[in-house]
Amino acid sequence: MKLDGATIIDGFPCVGLVNTIAANYLVATLELDQIAALDSDRFPAVSMIYANKPKFPARIYASEKLKTVVFLSEFRILPFLYRPLAKTLLNWAKDQKCSLIISPVGYPVELLSMEKELSVMGVGSTDRARQRLISNDIKQLSIGIIPGISGLLLNEGKWANFDVISLIIPVQPDMPEVKAAVKAVEIIDRLIPEIEVDVAPLQQEAERIAERLRVLRKQAKPMESQPPWGVYE
């Protein structure tokens, strides 16, 4: 696939399930093709079964026509994998001549208490990315901390002069992550001109996706808890 100028969506579950729910919906709705898989001795030894077929626990989906790529995984990402995964994603983006990485992250409302308006906010790694936020009427986070893979992508993007946008999706105690995922998809749809996503079906579909992810992660938990070779001395 020729993915020059494509946008990558980070669907690695890091803080909650917001970005993974959003990524699953985008893969299904946009009918993206699986083009590659990621594997590592440090990943849990599991096979994800979909439509009777085995799949690697971390995969890459894309559409050349829509200039859209999704990195997707269902298993819980342990903190020691954040940095290598962020660097792998960014290096792949540069190799494929992609132009932007979007990384949604669910954020507890209490950590955003210094912000007057609890709307979806963004952080850009470059002036170009920040201008893109301004052009799409997305408020920028003035001060705070972006955790996990999303935060690392921002740092690596700044260092490499590569456009990365972290979307901070407020998650309130009385608002399920599925509703936050709907907000994430709405903003992603706005940021990528090549796609047009109907978010209405996501209102019901997101709950089904979330339940499936919870079941899969519960099944994979015994394998995730095993220490990988070479990590602990």
The closest alpha carbon to 191, from 1, 8, 2, belongs to 8
State the architecture of 7-224 in CATH terms. 3-Layer(aba) Sandwich (3.40)
In the chain, pLDDT over 90 holds for what percent of residues? 50
> What pLDDT shows up at residue 230?
42
Gap between the Cα atoms of 20 and 166, Å rounded = 14
What are the contacts of 82-89 at 24+ separation with CB within 8 A? 82/14, 82/148, 82/149, 82/152, 83/152, 84/40, 85/12, 85/149, 86/149, 86/152, 86/153, 86/156, 87/152, 87/156, 88/38, 89/8, 89/10, 89/12, 89/149, 89/153
pLDDT tens digits, one per residue of 14-57: 766 788 888 988 998 999 999 999 999 888 888 888 778 888 88
Q: What is the dihedral of CA 193, 195, 196, 201, to 10 degrees?
A: -140
Residue 228: band (very low, low, confident or very high) from pLDDT cuts 50, 70, 90: very low
Q: Is the model's pLDDT at 191 over the cut of 90?
A: yes
Q: Is the model's pLDDT at 182 over the cut of 60?
A: yes
Q: Is the model's pLDDT at 126 over the cut of 80?
A: yes
Gap between the Cα atoms of 26 and 37, Å rounded = 18
- For the entire predicted model, the pTM comes to 0.85
